Amino acid sequence: MPIVDSTTGDVRRDYTVQELAHIADEMRVWNTMSLVAAGSGHLGGTLSIMDVAAALYLKHASHDPENPEWTGRDRIFWSVGHKAPALYVALGMAGYFDDRVVTFHGEVLEDLSDVKGIEQTVLLRKLGSGFEGHPNRFKLPGLELSSGSLGQGMGVACGSALHAKLTGADYTCYVILGDGEHDEGSVWESAAFAAHHELDNIVAIVDLNGLQIDGRTEDVLNKQDLREKYRAFGWEVFECDGHDMTAILDALKKADAVKGRPAVIVAMTIKGKGASYAEDVVGYHGVPPKNGRSGDESLDKLIEDLGLQDVFPRERVDQILEVAERYQAEVHKRVDAMVPKFSRDYWWNAADSMQVDMDATRNGFGGAICALGADDDVCALGADITSSIRMDYFYKPDGKTADPERMRRFFSCGIAEANMALVAAGLAKEGRIPFGGSYGVFSTGRNWDQLRTTVAYNDYQVKMADAHGGVSVGPDGATHQSLEEISLITILPNFIMSVPADSVQTEKATLAMARVPHPAVVRYAREATPVVTTPETPYEFGTANVIRLRQEADRFVDAFEHKLATEYASEDEDIAIIACGPMVPEAMRAAYIIKQERGIEARVLDVHTVKPLDEASIAKAALETKAIVTAEEHQVGGFGNLVAGAIARAAIGKPVKLAMVGVQDKFGDSGQPWELVKSFGLTAEHIATKCLELLG
């Protein structure tokens, strides 16, 4: 059924098959334009699913863009949340944004009142735009599900389909999945459930393009023949060419007609379809066109490949991309206003002095895992994000070439973090030292029960890389920003956890935890952050460092002295800033700000090991200073409450003024890394302001 008026049943809009095929290609351009404007995103999969999206939203599914919450609508669940740009373009083409105004976190931007409809999709991954890196159902009309963690959409569709059965509602639940997503066991739990309960109002659509982040699906984790697997689970199976509009519509019609069991359509697609440079190319999973607007691998080349120069002349593309620039200018103004102001600008590298180098902490992990890979007892496990988290350094000692001997000890687990933890446990049981890892939300969250019951309870020395932690991971958005794992991991008996300050310290921490015969987690980030330590900086696992500002210097790192807390004698500082991870550089900069502005002396305590916690040094700081501020790039209290508990247990004999800086009980957002650090109140300026408030 085409797009309908939910009050009258009349058709609002319909297309012929030929028109639909042409529109799908136009949607590919809009999709790619949004990625170019964002500077990030997933090109390959969004192009492969586009024909299916056009068929569903513009021809087959029953829905009403003017009444998005119509109870009789078909539900379309995007379990593949990273293909959000294709979803947004489909909604825009269907008319969901025709009357929507451009906003920044709900604030109407009058200067962009001329931007309507599908043009708004060019605001992809912009802070506050609503077009987040993965769908957020509270931000845009037409979204059925906030998604991003793979393997969960099918289960939600089962629940929605059950509701329809209970109420006699006549809607269909379509769920879009990727082929790589079928690594996740939760997909098959839901598939079994749907067949067991005869949910014939579910139609799953598999975008089978044969590629995922780490390579071809059969190489990452061979899923065998998905058609036969679904048949074995009791599903009716259809197959179609996912780029033939007639075939797609015919498969949808047949799937809808199935009775007594769920149906699945396996759509055979080409990743990167329409862009000659991206078709069937592994490297185009999670990146935009490499040359951006123009060049051999660009938006312009896609338009040329599709023969749509008349529809998208250069002047029109210029005007649309300018919308993103205009919006970004509004973001800059608002984000800048969120940062407390002082007598001058203290931001990183804003002045000629106190210059700092930037490096991603993940590179420190890479250096350590490379060194550890020389030990035959050490193994590494990949979860389809191997290169991004620098786990590939394990088997690439020169940074480029895979070493055959090390490859023997590297095992690809696919997108299956729970199983990865269990496989690691088995290796540890036999005396190996296994390292696994993924985005922190998956490597310490999705598999938490396995970490608790099998790893921690058995005290197996599994080492987990908690990668891309915090909001600073940037435009991927809330589903991929881990803000809870300090609480999740430190509560587990036997586990140890390190949250290092920079890339240099991350390498030291990773090497140290490999030597500890207990399960361990190291938390680190994706984006470049200030390097505030050196190879010579004192480091002892489990012992905090005291950092003191000594003088302004040309290089930020040279302005401070680091000592092991056990070797530090009080200098009668006014306040202690106790921090972990990337908040340590911010704490150091805050100490500089309050010294310059008010002459206040601050003791910065770098608690790089959050478990076991250096409680003695924390208690000493509370005893010897007038107030404590904790700082964490995490849900506030995850680290701060550990510090508060240590102070309470120490019974130091005096009241302690204590405040905490962290994420204030909310999920993350899409935006540029430093925008998010500023808008979530995680800067040195915010810490300095909190210090001044406490001291009065």
CATH of the domain at 618: 3.40.50.920
Whether residue 1 has pLDDT greater than 80? no
Do 453 and 596 sit in the same domain of this protein? no
pLDDT tens string 415-445: 999 999 999 999 999 999 999 999 999 999 9
Query: What is the average pLDDT across 385-414?
Result: 96
Query: Who contacts 565 (Cβ-Cβ below 8 Å, separation ≥6)?
Result: 543, 544, 545, 546, 605, 614, 616, 617, 620
Do 229 and 108 sit in the same domain of this protein? yes
Q: How far apart are CA 47 and CA 27, in angstroms?
A: 9
pLDDT at 594: 98
Into how many domains does the chain fold?
3
Do 484 and 632 sit in the same domain of this protein? no
- Among 176, 197, 143, 198, smallest CA distance to 252 is for 176
Do 550 and 617 sit in the same domain of this protein? yes
- Would 404 be classed as within a structural domain? yes
Both tokens assigned to 561: 């002295």
* Cβ atoms of 543 and 617 closer than 8 Å: yes
* Cβ atoms of 529 and 348 closer than 8 Å: no
Which residue range forms the structural domain that includes residue 433?
A: 359-530
Q: How far apart are CA 340 and CA 438, in angstroms?
A: 34
pLDDT band for position 231 (50/70/90)?
A: very high
Q: What is the DSSP letter of 453?
A: I
- Among 533, 500, 491, smallest CA distance to 607 is for 500
Both tokens assigned to 363: 């590179």
Do 550 and 566 sit in the same domain of this protein? yes
- Would 342 be classed as within a structural domain? no
Query: What is the average pLDDT across 580-603?
Result: 98
Residue 139, Cβ neighbours under 10 Å: how many?
18
Model-wide pTM > 0.95 = yes
**CA 682 from centroid of its chain's CA atoms:** 18
Do 173 and 285 sit in the same domain of this protein? yes
Do 272 and 367 sit in the same domain of this protein? no
Query: What is the chain's alpha carbon radius of gyration, rounded to the nearest angstrom?
Result: 26
Q: Would you put residue 290 in left (φ > 0), alpha (ψ -120 to 50) or beta? A: alpha
- Would 353 be classed as within a structural domain? no
Do 526 and 536 sit in the same domain of this protein? no
Q: Which residues pair with 469 in a beta bridge?
A: 482
Whether residue 229 has pLDDT greater than 90? yes
Do 511 and 568 sit in the same domain of this protein? no
Do 282 and 374 sit in the same domain of this protein? no
- Among 589, 600, 547, 549, smallest CA distance to 687 is for 589
Poorest-pLDDT segment among 10-14, 178-182, 339-343 = 10-14
How would you class 641 by CB atoms within 10 Å of its CB: exposed for 0-12, middle for 13-18, buried for 19 or more? middle
- Would 568 be classed as within a structural domain? yes
Which residue, of 301, 322, 343, is where some domain finishes? 322
- Would 390 be classed as within a structural domain? yes
pLDDT at 473: 87
Do 545 and 417 sit in the same domain of this protein? no
pLDDT at 2: 79
Which residue, of 322, 351, 383, is where some domain finishes? 322
Q: How far apart are CA 355 and CA 349, in angstroms?
A: 5
Which CATH number belongs to the domain containing residue 122 in this structure? 3.40.50.970
DSSP, collapsed to helix, strand or coil, labels residue 476 as coil
Whether residue 83 has pLDDT greater than 80? yes
Q: How far apart are CA 229 and CA 287, in angstroms?
A: 31
Share of the chain above pLDDT 70, in %: 100
- Would 350 be classed as within a structural domain? no
pLDDT at 172: 98
Q: For all residues of the chain together, what is the average pLDDT? A: 97
- Among 284, 669, 666, smallest CA distance to 473 is for 669
Which residue, of 489, 513, 530, is where some domain finishes? 530
pLDDT at 261: 98
pLDDT at 472: 85
- Would 345 be classed as within a structural domain? no
pLDDT tens string 437-492: 999 999 999 999 999 999 999 999 999 999 999 998 899 999 999 999 999 999 99
pLDDT at 180: 97
pLDDT tens string 153-208: 999 999 999 999 999 999 999 999 999 999 999 999 999 999 999 999 999 999 99
Half-sphere exposure of 507 (CA within 13 A, CB side): 18
Do 514 and 407 sit in the same domain of this protein? yes
Half-sphere exposure of 492 (CA within 13 A, CB side): 27
How far apart are the two ends of the chain, measured CA to CA in Å? 66
Bridge pairing between strands 602-606 and 575-579: parallel
pLDDT tens string 609-630: 999 999 999 999 999 999 999 9
Query: What is the average pLDDT across 627-638?
Result: 98
* Cβ atoms of 680 and 471 closer than 8 Å: yes
- Would 243 be classed as within a structural domain? yes
Q: How far apart are CA 301 and CA 309, in angstroms?
A: 10
